[in-house]
């Protein structure tokens, strides 16, 4: 269908319609539908108490301007448009220190969840190819991995997602502007295009969802010049990594895991503990598994400097904090995974008096995502204390849009957020860590059921399953309400999702016991778990 059929929806100065491909055969119909919906909602609102605000908002270009086109920003703006609001989303990718940049969709799509899981999948497939031989598949000759093939395939998929996001915005009548947004006042946003052209947008409400970017360490010579971050690794064109050093966050472990998995010599440098904030017993199992998988760990070490040698290799100098000794080794690349920081400087928040948390630079928010300035809201990774996760941002964004449209008062519930870490042995959890449960309920107030199990598919493949483990942390009294659930093993995220829903419904240990297992799976071990930590009995699962 030809593009000219799409009714113009541009009010702002820049139109991106020209570059759309005429592939969206359903667009005309969709747009009409959207227009109809919009009409209906308007009619509804003029018939309720919002007449006054509607009249007021009429003086602005938009009902809602969202700065940041990541998962949260897109969800929020699309929801607003669906509810009949006039919405615009501003997205602009500041290139990384190494010059890497990407399209619409934010961290998750471009430099986070999506490429990460796909590279993790590439690593898993490497293990599977080796397993396949044990299952009778005859593969002659050596097995090796080509970075360029993988990177290109993944990048192509990411580009198709970038494209999909733009099409969706157009279908949903959200104005998309590839400009860098900053705040002028509580109703005005200044946009700056790549070419340096300036524009002014006014809006009834402004939402900031610009997320965060990876940090570089401070005070380490050579760190910025020679090191890369997770913003760059997924977009490297050719294989450049033979080995890397970084610190023990989930990003670090995930990257180190897939790099090891595709056959690279990989080292992780950890200052204190791995996976801070997660259950530490589980963190230990994950790093133990990685160590047997081939990832090297430098524990309790801090980097001192990075120097480029004449050979092109990078020489990293570090200090072992236990002994104070200095060590040196050479690597092909160095990837920093030392936390993320929000992009607030360019937003002009200080001039408006939007309050930030000093230590983190993140925006202080109320439970309705409001900032200290009226009409300005923020959510996602940029919010202080918010989980840095795509699904929470998506959900929070949608709920915020509904509240701003005056159609709902429902607040985002940030409790019971399940999550997974795509380390070589995957880890997923929902609820409290054992440490936190113990702190809140006391050692005698909790009962921990646990099991070491062996995934069926590991057995024939003769893979080591000694870190496949699960634990269910329950309140000790009464019905034994589940406080936290932790699982390491294949497909951990898939396993945990349903349990997270059970958790949401107030699942107790007896609910687990009453549920029939699905045989033979790993997930069934969760409903079969019956050994308490207190009993001191052997938690190894035997037989079916």
Q: Please state the closest distance from residue 310 (CB atom) to other proteins, in A.
A: 31
Of the candidates 267, 299, 274, 294, the one whose C-alpha atom is nearest the C-alpha of residue 123 is 294
Measured from the CB atom, the residue of 356 and 451 that comes closer to other proteins is 451
Q: Please state the closest distance from residue 67 (CB atom) to other proteins, in A.
A: 22
DSSP string across 476-510: SSTT-BEEEEEEESTTHHHHHHHHHHHHHTT-BHH
DSSP string across 34-52: HHHHHHHHHHHHHTTTTHH
Identify the DSSP state of 520: T
Measured from the CB atom, the residue of 43 and 137 that comes closer to other proteins is 137
- Return d(Cα 118, Cα 382) in angstroms, integer: 25
C-beta of residue 487 within 8 angstroms of C-beta of residue 526: yes
- Return d(Cα 529, Cα 536) in angstroms, integer: 14
- Return d(Cα 197, Cα 93) in angstroms, integer: 16
- Cα dihedral across residues 514, 516, 520, 522: positive or negative: negative
Distances 45 to 53, 96, 299, 404 between C-alpha atoms, Å: 10, 44, 60, 13
Measured from the CB atom, the residue of 119 and 316 that comes closer to other proteins is 119
Measured from the CB atom, the residue of 325 and 410 that comes closer to other proteins is 410
Measured from the CB atom, the residue of 201 and 264 that comes closer to other proteins is 264
Q: Please state the closest distance from residue 211 (CB atom) to other proteins, in A.
A: 14
Measured from the CB atom, the residue of 212 and 418 that comes closer to other proteins is 418
- Is 327 noted as a catalytic residue in this protein? no
C-beta of residue 203 within 8 angstroms of C-beta of residue 189: yes
Chain-centroid distance, C-alpha 373 = 28
122 Rama sector, left if φ>0, alpha if ψ -120 to 50, beta otherwise: alpha
Q: Please state the closest distance from residue 250 (CB atom) to other proteins, in A.
A: 13
Q: Please state the closest distance from residue 415 (CB atom) to other proteins, in A.
A: 9
Q: Please state the closest distance from residue 176 (CB atom) to other proteins, in A.
A: 22
Q: Strands 314-320 and 198-208, how do they pair? A: unpaired
Distances 36 to 49, 57, 76, 151, 217 between C-alpha atoms, Å: 22, 21, 20, 43, 52
Of the candidates 361, 405, 355, 397, the one whose C-alpha atom is nearest the C-alpha of residue 379 is 397
Measured from the CB atom, the residue of 352 and 417 that comes closer to other proteins is 417
Of the candidates 241, 257, 235, the one whose C-alpha atom is nearest the C-alpha of residue 421 is 257
Catalytic site residue from 41, 50, 441, 519: 519
- Coil vs helix vs strand at 111: helix
- Coil vs helix vs strand at 327: strand
Measured from the CB atom, the residue of 148 and 346 that comes closer to other proteins is 148
Q: Please state the closest distance from residue 137 (CB atom) to other proteins, in A.
A: 6
Measured from the CB atom, the residue of 142 and 536 that comes closer to other proteins is 142
C-beta of residue 332 within 8 angstroms of C-beta of residue 323: no
Question: What is the crossing angle of helices 27-46 and 147-171, to 10°?
Answer: 50
Q: Please state the closest distance from residue 218 (CB atom) to other proteins, in A.
A: 31
Which residues does residue 67 pair with via DSSP β-bridges, in sequence order? 90, 208
Q: Please state the closest distance from residue 543 (CB atom) to other proteins, in A.
A: 5
R_g of the chain, CA atoms, integer Å: 25
Q: How many residues does the chain have?
A: 544
The residues annotated as belonging to the active site are: 519
């Amino acid at each position: 269908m030809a593009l000219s059929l799409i009714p113009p929806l541009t009010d702002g100065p820049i139109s991106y319609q020209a570059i759309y491909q005429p592939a969206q055969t359903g667009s005309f119909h969709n747009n009409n539908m959207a227009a109809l919906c919009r009409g209906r909602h308007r009619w509804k609102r003029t018939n309720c108490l919002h007449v006054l605000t509607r009249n007021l908002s009429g003086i602005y270009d938009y009902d809602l301007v969202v700065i940041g086109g990541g998962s949260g920003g897109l969800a929020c703006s699309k929801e607003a448009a669906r509810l009949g609001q006039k919405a615009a989303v501003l997205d602009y990718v500041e290139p990384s220190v190494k010059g890497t940049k990407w399209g619409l969709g934010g961290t998750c799509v471009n430099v986070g969840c999506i490429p990460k899981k796909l590279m993790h999948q590439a690593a898993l497939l490497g293990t599977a190819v080796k397993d396949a031989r044990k299952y009778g598949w005859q593969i002659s000759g050596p097995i090796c991995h080509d970075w360029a093939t993988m990177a290109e395939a993944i990048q192509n998929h990411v580009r198709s997602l970038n494209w999909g996001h733009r099409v969706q915005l157009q279908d949903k009548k959200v104005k998309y502007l590839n400009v860098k947004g900053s705040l002028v006042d509580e109703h005005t946003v200044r946009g700056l295009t790549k070419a340096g052209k300036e524009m002014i947008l006014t809006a009834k409400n402004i939402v900031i969802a610009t997320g965060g970017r990876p940090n570089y360490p401070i005070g380490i010579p050579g760190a910025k010049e020679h090191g890369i971050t997770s913003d760059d690794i997924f977009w490297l064109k050719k294989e450049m990594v033979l080995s890397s050093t970084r610190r023990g966050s989930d990003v670090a472990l995930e990257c180190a895991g897939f790099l090891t998995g595709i056959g690279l010599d990989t080292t992780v440098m950890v200052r204190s503990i791995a996976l801070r904030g997660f259950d530490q017993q589980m963190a230990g199992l994950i790093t133990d598994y990685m160590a047997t998988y081939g990832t090297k760990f430098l524990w309790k070490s801090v980097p001192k400097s990075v120097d480029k040698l004449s050979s092109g290799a990078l020489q990293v100098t570090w200090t072992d904090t236990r002994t104070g000794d200095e060590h040196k080794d050479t690597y092909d690349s160095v990837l920093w995974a030392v936390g993320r920081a929000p992009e607030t400087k360019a937003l002009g928040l200080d001039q408006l008096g939007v309050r930030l948390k000093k230590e983190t630079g993140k925006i202080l928010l109320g439970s309705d995502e409001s900032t200290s300035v009226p009409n300005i809201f923020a959510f996602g990774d940029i919010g202080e204390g918010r989980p840095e996760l795509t699904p929470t941002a998506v959900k929070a964004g949608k709920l915020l849009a509904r509240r701003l449209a005056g159609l709902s008062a429902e607040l985002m519930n940030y409790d019971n957020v399940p999550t997974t870490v795509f380390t070589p042995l995957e880890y997923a959890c929902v609820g409290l860590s054992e440490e936190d449960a113990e702190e809140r309920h006391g050692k005698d107030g909790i009962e921990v059921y646990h099991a070491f199990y062996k995934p069926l598919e590991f057995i024939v493949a003769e893979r080591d399953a000694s870190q496949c483990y699960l634990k269910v942390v329950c309140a000790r009294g009464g019905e034994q309400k589940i406080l936290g659930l932790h699982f390491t093993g294949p497909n951990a995220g898939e396993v945990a999702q349903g349990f997270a829903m059970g958790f949401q419904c107030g699942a107790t240990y007896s609910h687990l016991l009453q549920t029939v297992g699905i045989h033979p799976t790993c997930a069934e071990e969760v409903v079969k778990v019956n050994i308490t930590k207190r009993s001191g009995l052997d938690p190894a699962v035997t037989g079916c």
